[in-house]
Structure 1
Amino acid sequence: MRAESLACREQLGVDLTVQSPPPRRPSRSIVAAFCAALAAAPLPAHAFEIFGIKLFGSRDPAQEDLTIGDPQRYEVEFAVADDDIGKKLKAASTLWADRDEPASGAAGLIAKARGDYRRLLAALYAEGRYGGTISIRIDGREASGLAPDATLSQPARVAVAVDPGPLFHFRQADVVNQAPPTADRHDRVDDPRDEGFAPGAVARSGAVLRAERLAVEAWRQQGYARAEIAERRVEAAHGENVIDARIAVAPGRKAHYGPVTVEGAERVDAGWIAWMTGLRHGQEYDPDDIKRASTRIARLDLFRAARFQEAEFVNDDGLLPITYIVQERLPRRFGVGGTWSSVDGGGIEAFWLHRNLFGRAERLKIEGKVAGIGQTFKPDEFTYRVGASFVKPGVYTPDTSFSASLFGDREVLEAYTRTAVTLGAGLTHEFTEELSGRLFATAARSRFDDDEFGRRDFMTVGLAGGLTYDSRDNAADATRGVFLETVVEPFYEFERGNPAIRATAEARAYYGFGKEARLVLAGRLKLGMLAGPPAAELPPDLLFFAGGGGSVRGYAYRNIGVTTPSGNVIGGRSLTEASIEARMRVTPSIGLVAFADAGYVGADAVPSFDDRLRVGVGGGLRYITGLGPIRLDVAVPLDRRPGDPSVAFYVGLGQAF
């Protein structure tokens, strides 16, 4: 056994010393058995990994499932003493995963079985089991000894027997040349000892991999871009069931950014893209800068694929040249979409987009929308919206954008009908990955018709400033993180000479249970106030309403407001909304949701809650797609009034919040 182990070490090119264990039953040690299998196998040698490191060969799946001969059916049985490990071994086995499908001939089944030696071995290592044995027998014969053209029964009987062996622990777990501690919290990296690479811990192979990654990353965070593992030594002492592991890091030379070169740019200004990365010549290297640059440029939506490629060596002057390799998208795009709810009817919208108008990611979008279809079939009672928006990124800094928009609207709601032209222009700045701010100048000319006040005209000019903090892991389907936003809008209404100020604050929180977050609790709270003249002298679209798919489900869109003595519903000067959802992932593509929404609109800037809180409850179905979940919600209003639906249905893309 000792000779076989040493031969395996020479063949694989890794220092894996196996001390001779005490006498055992005839089955060989797992390392020796696998080396013997490799030596005996007339098929080409497959890739082999120890601690997740590919030592030789390729990982071409075609080598494992050669298309030879007729389909070979088989039945497989697993025999593992430990049930928990048995589940993990089955998850690693292609024999088990593909058991319902025939293999590509006898050679394909034999190749699949031989590949499972490696997979099962890696799964045992991942659980800290280094003294186990693996037997894969096909029709009573060990798969490692079968020729590719062996004759098998139909169906073949495959028996996988694994003795996991004893649990190994680290006796020694050393990181040589570990990075010094840093005072900068942004450069701190978890200690490998806290991730399981420590004496006395279970010697899982993943702990060694994590230790290597963390040890290298700690140096990279301090500017050593080409840090690497210089030595890796893992020794198993079977007699004592322990592992001695030692990894040494070579940090290399400290790096600063050299020139940034862009490859693959055709319609986009390559020099401008290099500037947009924010990687300034001579600045100390930081992998977080690379990550931020990738996120910033991804927001431009210019490229189908893009990646940074760092030079292999740091130059003698300490500079690290960097190449940004891109593949451009087509600059023009056209899209059509739709929404529907049983309360608000259906909507159709379309847009035309140019994402690179002048060569520096200038974005022009022309869009139109028709809504309210189904509630009525009279064109003059539909809601219409048409307009254009323009975005110029990279103004003053790579994280600052200029935006301008012009829209014409005719909005037909239960509470009012609005005909308006609005104009906005301003700047948006990304302070960090989570924190952004914006400041816009706005102007609107509008006409409103409603039952309470009749026809009124308004002309408003103002500012809109906001801050947003967003730490969600996925904006369309969050499982953790928070979203905080506050917006302040001072404005002046010229027709009646009234100044006013409008403010809103919203908080959303998400908490997923378990590693896969199959159950997520989500909550939302929104508050609003408007200080200034009475409601009769303010544009209704700046007053507060509640109700609808993104507000209080079960009620019509913007149909919760202040009820006047004449029985009409008008907007209020304060708003309170709250929602809670429980989201359960039933399968990888199907989810269920239960929710409750509540909303209150007050006549005064400070809510008095002298009217009843409107509450809607319901459930929903989610179909998970790459763009986000397709949402189907059913809601019931608990405080139904005349004109409110008994049941409301909503369909859309993305979670409700």
Structure 2
Amino acid sequence: MPTDLARHALASCLAAIAIAGVQPLAAQDADAPPSLEDLIPDSAVSDPEAWAQQGTDAPTEIAVEDTASDLRAETAVSEIPGMSVAWPEDVVFEPLEPLEPETDIVFADLLADVPQIAFDEADLEELSDTLVLGFPQKEPPFSERGDFIDRFEALSTIEELDDGDENVAQLAARARKDEELLRTLLRVYGYYDGEIVRTIATRDAGEEAADQRPRVRFDVIPGPRYTYGAIALGDLAAAPDAGDLRDAFEIRPGDYLQSDDILAERFDLDRALGETGYAFAEIDNPELLIDHERVEGDLTMPVRPNGKYVFGEVVSSDEAFLSSRHLASIARFDAGDVYQRSLAFDLRRAVTATGLVSTVGVEAREVSPPQGDEPGVVAMDVTLERAKLRTIAGAIGYGSEEGVRIQASWEHRNFFPPEGALRLRGILGTREQLAGVTFRKNNFGGRDKVLTVDAYASSIDTTAYDARTVALTGTYERTSTLLFQKPLAWGIGAEVLATDERNRIVDGVARPRQTYFVASLFGRATIDTSDSLLDPTRGFRVTGFLAPETSRTEGEQYYYLRNRVDGAFYQSVGARTVIAARGAFASIQGADLVGIAPSRRLYAGGGGSVRGYGYQAIGPKNEFMEPTGGRSLVEASLEARIGTGFFDGAVSVVPFFDLGSVSTSTTPDFAEIKMGAGIGLRYATGFGPIRFDVGIPLNPEPEDSAVGVYISLGQAF
């Protein structure tokens, strides 16, 4: 039994081997070879190990006739076994002649557009301790590399990490975002086949392994830069001045592609349409189709000019409040002028600046369409809602030179429509009392032209004089405002007043009072090239004032000419510093000092003059050391407005130096020059800087204070 089992097992193994390499026969016949079990000898079954060690018989050699050795080149075909075709003896092969090279064949340079990359020679830009940009592409050069780096540095999430707080996990997460940012920026500049290779590694920050810190490197391979292919601008060619409009869109086929340029040029084209009469022009969003095979992008931006127009009439929605005629007078266009969108927007700003409306809208409305070469006409519809027109205001303050001061006013801004304001005001203080009424007509006779009539009675006691005055003043001026700063502003006016004045009482000694009746005509003009009324950083200002006056006092009539010139210059130095300089000259020609009321003489000192000294404290003095005023004045100031990083750059430090001299003669004699210096702070707000200055007199008199403090809105000059 065991012998049969062994035989059967061995047969199974051999059968498996046979299956692997031999195909079985179909069926056995009488001549069929013995079965696999019959071929296994009994000795292999009884003692398999001994049988396996016997080895195998030598292989039987099979004789194969070597016919290949008889096949020679010179053997005739008829002698080759199995071939009966005779070799043709008359066939002769001509020798092959070498081919001449074709000189006119141009082979394509398959590597012409392939960027040349050299990682080991990459230009590196180390943006921080944890972030490095590599630029391994040598050809073609990355032409926008500088701006590309600046943009990436401003938007990078890795750059937001505080130095020393980063770890590998944080960097890995942010590196993925920065990698996508880099790809986006490449596409912005027209590199649509660009590649970014990101590497995060550690660098030695010390000898210990614990001090090793992670670092991210991005290798930027921009590849070829795409250009603009076809550019389709819709119906722009149908516009009457299509050539000029097309020139406003400064993108041409073949220019390098950059998505920023598309947006900028779309804005320029829209502005050109709006400024040349196309009141209803429309521009659809641009679409860019990238063709990677051509390395180009086709731009489509449908434009519909929709006809050219001129201005018609201005129509108010509230005739009783702000009439159409008044609105037309403050517009910077006349009927028949070519429509300009900026002038329509300017009209809206002018109506807002009146302070009489809470909301305002200005819309173009078609009156007649274009006909052939004739433009259409649009009316400007002004819709407005009235604002609250009455205002009550008040202020309470204290100053070392003024004492306690309470001020109050009531105003109706449209008491006499349109834009006729009535204002009542009063001041109650330890050194000043005043009651006055003012009529003001804005935009009277034209844009930003103001007529003002002011009547008041006041009593004022300053360091220099004590005056009780009744006055009536009228002015007509072209003003420069925060909304509409103008290169030229002017004003003319007249004034009549009666004033009873005397020098101050000192140590109980009272000087006699003297009454003056004064009439004056005056004019002033300002040339202003500065960039701001309250906080200029560049440019200059020059203001001239001229006032012929007559004064009657003590039975005598005096005639004289008051004049003054003020100039200021501003220059930025670096990113945060402004150097500001100021000079002033004034004189009174034609009358002795006694014929000029003390309140109309010249004085220096104070926050807008020579800081460190009191208001009107500089000048000739009498035996009681009171300023008596003079007939000529010279002032100069120099300060540096240095920005800081405090409060997001809102705070500035301002060292300053001032000097001034007042003389009794009509020309300065510089007998005494007072100087002051100090330092100030400026805090920038949305409506201008708040000023805080501390000044020290450098050559004070015994009666001068040791320090002067000045707080106001706006710069000193």
More deviation, 166-175/292-301: 166-175
- State the match for 2:491 in structure 1: 438
Confirm whether residue 582 of structure 1 aligns to residue 646 of structure 2.
Answer: no
Cα distance, 1:512 vs. partner?
3.3
Cα distance change on mapping 1:461 and 1:513 into 2, 3 Å: same
Cα distance change on mapping 1:323 and 1:436 into 2, 3 Å: same
Q: Contact conserved, 2:197 with 2:220, CA < 8 A, in 1?
A: no
Distance 1:228 1:249 in 2: 6
Distance 2:693 2:248 in 1: 45
Confirm whether residue 387 of structure 1 aligns to residue 436 of structure 2.
Answer: yes
For 1:546, the aligned partner's letter is: A
Cα distance, 1:453 vs. partner?
6.6
Q: How many residues align?
A: 535
For 1:366, the aligned partner's letter is: L
For 1:282, the aligned partner's letter is: G
Q: Contact conserved, 2:470 with 2:499, CA < 8 A, in 1?
A: yes
For 1:257, the aligned partner's letter is: F
User: Residue 281 of structure 1: SS of its match in structure 2?
Assistant: coil
More deviation, 204-213/546-555: 204-213
Distance 1:435 1:188 in 2: 33
Confirm whether residue 645 of structure 1 aligns to residue 705 of structure 2.
Answer: yes
For 1:166, the aligned partner's letter is: P
- State the match for 1:53 in structure 2: none
For 2:701, the aligned partner's letter is: R
Distance 1:649 1:189 in 2: 60
For 1:468, the aligned partner's letter is: T
Which residue, 581, 587, 600 being the options, matches 2:661? 600
Cα distance change on mapping 1:92 and 1:314 into 2, 3 Å: farther
User: Residue 582 of structure 1: SS of its match in structure 2?
Assistant: strand
Distance 1:522 1:291 in 2: 34
Q: Contact conserved, 1:135 with 1:160, CA < 8 A, in 2?
A: no
Distance 2:596 2:713 in 1: 33
Confirm whether residue 450 of structure 1 aligns to residue 503 of structure 2.
Answer: yes
Cα distance, 1:621 vs. partner?
1.5
User: Residue 672 of structure 2: SS of its match in structure 1?
Assistant: coil
Q: Contact conserved, 1:479 with 1:520, CA < 8 A, in 2?
A: yes
Cα distance change on mapping 1:349 and 1:433 into 2, 3 Å: same
User: Residue 262 of structure 2: SS of its match in structure 1?
Assistant: helix
Cα distance, 1:130 vs. partner?
5.3
For 1:561, the aligned partner's letter is: G
For 1:435, the aligned partner's letter is: L
User: Residue 569 of structure 1: SS of its match in structure 2?
Assistant: coil
Cα distance, 1:260 vs. partner?
2.5
Distance 2:642 2:298 in 1: 43
- State the match for 1:375 in structure 2: none
Distance 1:190 1:561 in 2: 64
Q: Contact conserved, 1:130 with 1:165, CA < 8 A, in 2?
A: no
> For residues 65-96 of structure 1, what are the alpha-carbon distances to aligned partners after superposition, in whole Å with 9 as ceiling and x for unaligned?
xxxxxxxxxxxx99662798576446447998
Cα distance, 1:487 vs. partner?
1.6
- State the match for 1:511 in structure 2: 571
- State the match for 1:618 in structure 2: 678
For 1:81, the aligned partner's letter is: L
Which residue, 501, 522, 525 being the options, matches 1:467? 525
> For residues 459-503 of structure 1, what are the alpha-carbon distances to aligned partners after superposition, in whole Å with 9 as ceiling and x for unaligned?
111111111233433322223343332121111113321111111
TM-score, normalising length: structure 1 = 0.68
TM-score, normalising length: structure 2 = 0.63
Cα distance, 1:161 vs. partner?
9.3
For 1:573, the aligned partner's letter is: R
User: Residue 453 of structure 2: SS of its match in structure 1?
Assistant: strand
- State the match for 2:446 in structure 1: 397
Q: Kindly, what percent of the aligned residue pairs are identical?
A: 27
Which residue, 426, 447, 472 being the options, matches 1:423? 472
- State the match for 2:125 in structure 1: none
Cα distance change on mapping 1:527 and 1:205 into 2, 3 Å: farther
Distance 1:211 1:92 in 2: 24
> For residues 373-402 of structure 1, what are the alpha-carbon distances to aligned partners after superposition, in whole Å with 9 as ceiling and x for unaligned?
xxxxxx4xx222332221112333344322
Distance 1:455 1:522 in 2: 42
Which residue, 502, 523, 538 being the options, matches 1:480? 538
User: Residue 706 of structure 2: SS of its match in structure 1?
Assistant: coil
Distance 1:215 1:410 in 2: 62
> For residues 412-461 of structure 1, what are the alpha-carbon distances to aligned partners after superposition, in whole Å with 9 as ceiling and x for unaligned?
11111111112111322369943222211111111111169742110111
Q: Contact conserved, 2:448 with 2:478, CA < 8 A, in 1?
A: yes
- State the match for 1:359 in structure 2: 417
User: Residue 437 of structure 1: SS of its match in structure 2?
Assistant: strand
Which residue, 479, 485, 501 being the options, matches 2:561? 501
- State the match for 2:364 in structure 1: 310
> For residues 189-231 of structure 1, what are the alpha-carbon distances to aligned partners after superposition, in whole Å with 9 as ceiling and x for unaligned?
99887xxx79999865444333333344345444444556579
Confirm whether residue 562 of structure 1 aligns to residue 620 of structure 2.
Answer: yes
Cα distance, 1:295 vs. partner?
4.8
Q: Which residues of 2 match residues 182-221 of structure 1 at below 5 A?
A: 205-221=259-275
Distance 2:607 2:523 in 1: 26
Cα distance change on mapping 1:122 and 1:228 into 2, 3 Å: farther
Cα distance change on mapping 1:479 and 1:301 into 2, 3 Å: farther
Distance 1:326 1:274 in 2: 15
Distance 1:95 1:344 in 2: 57
Cα distance change on mapping 1:209 and 1:301 into 2, 3 Å: same
Q: Contact conserved, 2:564 with 2:585, CA < 8 A, in 1?
A: yes
For 2:557, the aligned partner's letter is: G
- State the match for 2:311 in structure 1: 257
Cα distance change on mapping 1:191 and 1:87 into 2, 3 Å: same
User: Structure 2: any 5+ residue segments left out of the alignment?
Assistant: 1-112, 118-128, 135-145, 163-172, 199-214, 505-509
User: Residue 347 of structure 2: SS of its match in structure 1?
Assistant: helix
Q: Contact conserved, 1:392 with 1:402, CA < 8 A, in 2?
A: yes
Cα distance, 1:547 vs. partner?
0.9
Distance 2:361 2:709 in 1: 43
Q: Contact conserved, 1:444 with 1:461, CA < 8 A, in 2?
A: yes
Distance 1:201 1:347 in 2: 68
Confirm whether residue 81 of structure 1 aligns to residue 130 of structure 2.
Answer: no
Q: Contact conserved, 2:329 with 2:446, CA < 8 A, in 1?
A: no
Cα distance, 1:302 vs. partner?
2.1
User: Structure 1: any 5+ residue segments left out of the alignment?
Assistant: 1-20, 26-76, 100-109, 137-158, 182-186, 372-378
Distance 1:351 1:162 in 2: 66
Distance 2:414 2:179 in 1: 52
Distance 1:422 1:170 in 2: 75
- The structure having more radius of gyration, on CA atoms, is 2
Distance 1:395 1:113 in 2: 64
For 2:662, the aligned partner's letter is: V
- State the match for 1:47 in structure 2: none
Cα distance, 1:545 vs. partner?
0.7
Which residue, 525, 537, 542 being the options, matches 2:583? 525
- State the match for 1:545 in structure 2: 603
Q: Contact conserved, 1:259 with 1:281, CA < 8 A, in 2?
A: yes
Distance 1:523 1:198 in 2: 48
Distance 1:239 1:362 in 2: 70
Confirm whether residue 634 of structure 1 aligns to residue 694 of structure 2.
Answer: yes
Distance 1:134 1:331 in 2: 63
Cα distance, 1:364 vs. partner?
1.9
> For residues 36-63 of structure 1, what are the alpha-carbon distances to aligned partners after superposition, in whole Å with 9 as ceiling and x for unaligned?
xxxxxxxxxxxxxxxxxxxxxxxxxxxx
Cα distance change on mapping 1:351 and 1:642 into 2, 3 Å: same
